Structure 1
Amino acid sequence: MIGTTARQCSSWILPTLLAVNLALAAGCAGKAATARYSVSSIGDSCYAKALPTAGEGGLAWGTTLNMARKKSLDNCIRYAGRSGGTPDTCKVVLAECKN
């Protein structure tokens, strides 16, 4: 009796999962791709890189040199903390503008 119930149940699970999968895929297919970056940073011409003595550093772009420095230092502190490094030793090691 249990074997019959299991077969009946499995006979409709696969088609149901397939239908749900196709519905989800069809719903996502029509959506336009969205950019994963800030619109304001598209034309930024200044960049800076900050590194800690241990852990991951941070690179950032900004409209001004000071803004790029601040963003890269903030990123360095965040990433160094996450990677087990030393956030309090972050320093800007490179900062310049393209033009």
Structure 2
Amino acid sequence: MTVETARQYSSWVIPSLLAISLALTPGCSGKASTARYATSSAGSACYAKALPTAGEGGLAWGTTLSMARKKSLDNCIRYAGRSGGTPNTCQVVLAECRH
């Protein structure tokens, strides 16, 4: 192989290796697309929403309907107080369990 032939090969070998490595990279990065945060589907089947007459309400998930109702009521009291609403008027307006 002459020096000129070696230069011809090196002119396309390096870009080819770079293209191959870039082509393989997206396959590896696809694994990181899994959920990073626990969602409601991680085990909580019931949810409830509580609202005050003024201010922000609260939505919560729980493993049982009573747990979801209690958590949403606690959230409603907390958020209504922070938003200048009426925490003592919080009521659960929706409570269901998924099947």
- Residue 37 of structure 1: how far off its partner (Å): 4.8
One-letter code aligned to 2:80: A
Is residue 2:59 matched to residue 1:59? Answer: yes
Computing the radius of gyration from Cα coordinates, the structure with the larger value is 2
Please, which runs of 5 or more residues in structure 1 have no aligned partner? 1-34
One-letter code aligned to 2:67: M
DSSP 3-state at the match of 1:61: strand
Is residue 2:60 matched to residue 1:77? Answer: no
Please, which runs of 5 or more residues in structure 2 have no aligned partner? 1-35
CA contact (8 A) 1:48 1:61 kept: yes
Provide Cα deviations, 1:43-87, integer angstroms capped at 9, x if missing partner: 100000000000000000000000000000000000000000000
CA contact (8 A) 1:45 1:62 kept: yes
- Residue 42 of structure 1: how far off its partner (Å): 2.2
**CA RMSD, aligned part only?**
2.1
One-letter code aligned to 1:54: A
Q: Tell me the TM-score normalised to structure 2 length.
A: 0.60
State how many pairs are aligned. Answer: 67
Query: What is the CA–CA distance in structure 2 between the aligned matches of 1:37 and 1:85, rounded to whole Å?
Result: 30
* % same residue: 81
One-letter code aligned to 1:84: G
Q: Runs (4+) of structure 1 moved beyond 6 Å?
A: none
CA contact (8 A) 1:44 1:61 kept: yes
